[in-house]
């Protein structure tokens, strides 16, 4: 249910989206990369890592903690989120990190700058993800790693069923598609890496999961989504694209609140994960 | 793509299904249980484990290796598969194991017999899975664990898309439903455990994945499924339920063979996983 870093937040107005985004860390959202990162760190403690679409920075900050003698750069298309990311780093007492504005299609770095280039829930939202992967490969050193993790929204698996929550699923898929994204990103990630010009033998594909099932996780999920439906960027975009009315969104928000109270409630989806050895 | 132990095999005719089934071990198919099993083994090396729907026995045998001073019992509704399971155990040199015939609805054991009662891809195929879980709980000791792992077939995520493979997906979902099973078992597992009479606080829910993406995994998957479509129990059942013609099945088998040759091919699905503390 991580809606991606590109949906945008208003400065000065703490958005609801970070409720879902800011629980994310390298451990929850880059587990497929961590064994490789640890192995690389053993031979070079001064690793440099680029986190593309760093959003509110919680994943970037946890990467920076994992490589205290290295350096992390977070980059995001949305300049309004950079202040939040810097505050997250400061609160965590993390110094080996910087955040800047930039597009994954035109990364403001020389060829072969980083040991590791990572993104999560970025390619799912953009029109030509293979171009983004090609650009991520460009700024990565030879012998380095490009890692990506992208949700497969069409595997979303919700219980109990509820007509309003089915409508919500369609709304989210519609929003992704309207924005040029791909609701089946997870299953296409391998094909995008091949299209970016690498060989199959350079790619390790795996699958992870995102889920909300414990009482506290259900509350985080329900609150994040109902807040978005009542006043977040999700609502703004959905209204702009004509994907529903204010009444529809209120019904969906209520359904999420009801869902969160149920002991049998669960929500899960697949995440496609790749490591590309440059 | 594990089709479950209850579809049945003919004795003397090595079926295609074990190509997919016999790659399964406790490590691949019960990873959510293993940390708990290891912790229980530390305080009691003589653990007893029941594997319900043990099929060709590869998971049961790997459990037996993990508890060399304990004992594993495998049980399956289909008497024809028991010989294969015993052969698998003998080949592996595993002695602390036995296999017998029986139904998950009426397990032939006294109350509180086993420390751990496990099933994988069993509840997905039956009509009242909460009754099965209730019965599994009955034969489990107080302080013991009931563990289940069931696929969520409606999260099946395939690339590249192919009309024949979409038909195959519908065929499999149709076969499951026709047999009284539940293609969305994974997401319902928690609700079934609650319906079996346990409290939410006794249940740990997680999600795993099954996937086929490497060249060798794609070959195993494609060969297993195309063999089933051309001469296995899947074909027999699908013809019986009127879910397709021999020509349809041949087209699907060819599509799987073509899929396996593609570098961008991948197949994945979610598995619901529960541990119930009795």
Check if A34 contacts B (Cβ < 8 Å). Answer: no
Distance from CA of B185 to the nearest CA of A (A): 10
- If you ran DSSP here, which 8-state letter would residue B77 be given? S
- B10 lies in a domain? no
% pLDDT > 70, chain B: 92
Distance from CA of B117 to the nearest CA of A (A): 22
What confidence score (pLDDT) does residue A20 get? Answer: 67
Chain A CA closest to residue B214: A205
**CB pair distance less than 8 Å for A264 and B158:** no
Q: Is the pLDDT of residue A8 over 50?
A: no
Confidence bin at A24 (pLDDT 50/70/90): confident
Interfacial A residues in 45-104 facing B (CB < 8 Å): none
Distance from CA of B88 to the nearest CA of A (A): 29
Check if B197 contacts A (Cβ < 8 Å). Answer: no
- A5 lies in a domain? no
Min mean pLDDT across B9-13, B127-131, B254-258, B263-267 is at B9-13
Q: Which residues does chain A have within 8 Å of residue B270's beta carbon, measured at their own beta carbons?
A: 155, 157, 209, 268-270
The interaxial angle of helices A34-43 and A58-66, nearest 10 deg, is: 40
Min mean pLDDT across A17-26, A104-113, A221-230, B217-226 is at A17-26
pLDDT in tens, B54-87: 999 999 999 999 999 999 999 999 999 999 999 9
pLDDT in tens, B197-256: 999 999 999 999 999 999 999 999 999 999 999 998 899 999 999 999 999 999 999 999
What confidence score (pLDDT) does residue B233 get? Answer: 86
**CB pair distance less than 8 Å for B155 and A160:** no
CA B29 from chain centre, in angstroms, equals: 8
Check if A152 contacts B (Cβ < 8 Å). Answer: yes
- What is the CB neighbour count within 10 angstroms for residue A170? 11
Chain B CA closest to residue A200: B263
In a mutational test of the B interface, the residue from A207, A215, A259, A271 whose CB has the highest number of chain B CBs within 10 Å is A207
- B91 lies in a domain? yes
Check if B208 contacts A (Cβ < 8 Å). Answer: yes
**CB pair distance less than 8 Å for B268 and A187:** yes
Check if B264 contacts A (Cβ < 8 Å). Answer: yes
What confidence score (pLDDT) does residue A41 get? Answer: 98
Q: Is the pLDDT of residue A5 over 50?
A: no
**CB pair distance less than 8 Å for A194 and B157:** no
- B11 lies in a domain? no
**CB pair distance less than 8 Å for A270 and B187:** no
Q: Which residues does chain B have within 8 Å of residue A269's beta carbon, measured at their own beta carbons?
A: 155, 270
What confidence score (pLDDT) does residue A233 get? Answer: 86
Check if A182 contacts B (Cβ < 8 Å). Answer: no
Are A5 and A121 contacting, i.e. CB atoms less than 8 angstroms apart? yes
Quote ipTM for the complex: 0.90
- A8 lies in a domain? no
Number of domains observed in the structure of chain B:
1
pLDDT in tens, A29-68: 999 999 999 999 999 999 999 999 999 999 999 999 999 9
For B192, half-sphere exposure in the C-beta direction (CA atoms, 13 angstrom radius) is: 31
CA atoms of A100 and A57, how far apart (whole Å): 11
pLDDT in tens, B133-154: 999 999 999 999 999 999 999 9
H or E stretch at A269? strand A266-277
Instruction: Give the pLDDT mean for A227-249.
Output: 93
Check if B187 contacts A (Cβ < 8 Å). Answer: yes
- Which one has a higher pLDDT value, B274 or A23? B274
- B170 lies in a domain? yes
Give the count of Cβ contacts less than 8 A between chain A and B: 88
Q: Is the pLDDT of residue B6 over 70?
A: no
Q: Is the pLDDT of residue A230 over 50?
A: yes
**CB pair distance less than 8 Å for B207 and A209:** yes
SS3 call for B211: strand
What confidence score (pLDDT) does residue B10 get? Answer: 31
Residues 6 or more apart whose Cβ sits within 8 Å of residue A6: A53, A77, A78, A122, A125, A126, A179
Chain B CA closest to residue A210: B207
% pLDDT > 90, chain A: 89
CA atoms of B203 and A216, how far apart (whole Å): 15
Residues 6 or more apart whose Cβ sits within 8 Å of residue A187: A152, A270, A272, B157, B158, B159, B266, B268
Check if B31 contacts A (Cβ < 8 Å). Answer: no
Distance from CA of A214 to the nearest CA of B (A): 8
- A6 lies in a domain? no
Instruction: Give the pLDDT mean for A97-103.
Output: 98
Chain A CA closest to residue B193: A264
Residue A180's CATH number: 3.40.50.150
Q: Is the pLDDT of residue A224 over 60?
A: yes
- B25 lies in a domain? yes
What confidence score (pLDDT) does residue A23 get? Answer: 76
pLDDT in tens, A108-161: 999 999 999 999 999 999 999 999 999 999 999 999 999 999 999 999 999 999
Identify the domain containing residue A94 by its residue range: 17-277
Confidence bin at A13 (pLDDT 50/70/90): very low
Q: What are phi and psi of B266, to 5 degrees?
A: -155, 145
Q: Is the pLDDT of residue A18 over 80?
A: no
Confidence bin at B177 (pLDDT 50/70/90): very high
């Amino acid at each position: 249910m991580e809606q991606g870093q590109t949906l945008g937040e208003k400065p000065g107005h703490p958005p609801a989206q970070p409720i879902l985004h800011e629980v994310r860390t390298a451990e929850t959202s880059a587990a497929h990369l961590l064994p490789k990162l640890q192995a690389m760190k053993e031979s070079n403690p001064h690793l440099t890592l680029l986190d593309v679409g760093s959003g509110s920075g919680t994943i970037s900050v946890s990467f920076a903690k994992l490589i205290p003698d290295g350096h992390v750069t977070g980059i995001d298309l949305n300049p309004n989120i950079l202040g939040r990311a810097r505050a997250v780093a400061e609160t965590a007492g993390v110094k080996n990190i910087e955040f800047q504005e930039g597009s994954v299609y035109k990364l403001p770095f020389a060829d072969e700058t980083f040991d590791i280039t990572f993104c999560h829930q970025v390619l799912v939202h953009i029109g030509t993800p293979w171009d983004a992967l090609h650009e991520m490969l460009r700024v990565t050193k030879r012998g380095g790693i490009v890692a990506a993790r992208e949700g497969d929204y069409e595997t979303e698996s919700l219980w109990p069923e509820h007509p309003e929550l089915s409508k919500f699923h369609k709304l989210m898929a519609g929003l992704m598609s309207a924005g040029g994204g791909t609701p089946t990103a997870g299953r296409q990630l391998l094909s995008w890496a091949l299209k970016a010009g690498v060989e199959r033998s350079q790619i390790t594909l795996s699958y992870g999961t995102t889920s909300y099932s414990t009482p506290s996780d259900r509350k985080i999920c329900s609150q994040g989504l109902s807040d978005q439906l009542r006043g977040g960027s999700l609502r703004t975009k959905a209204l702009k694209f004509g994907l529903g009315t204010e009444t529809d969104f209120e019904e969906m928000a209520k359904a999420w609140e009801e869902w969160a109270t149920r002991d049998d409630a669960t929500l899960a989806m697949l995440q496609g994960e790749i490591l590309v050895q440059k």
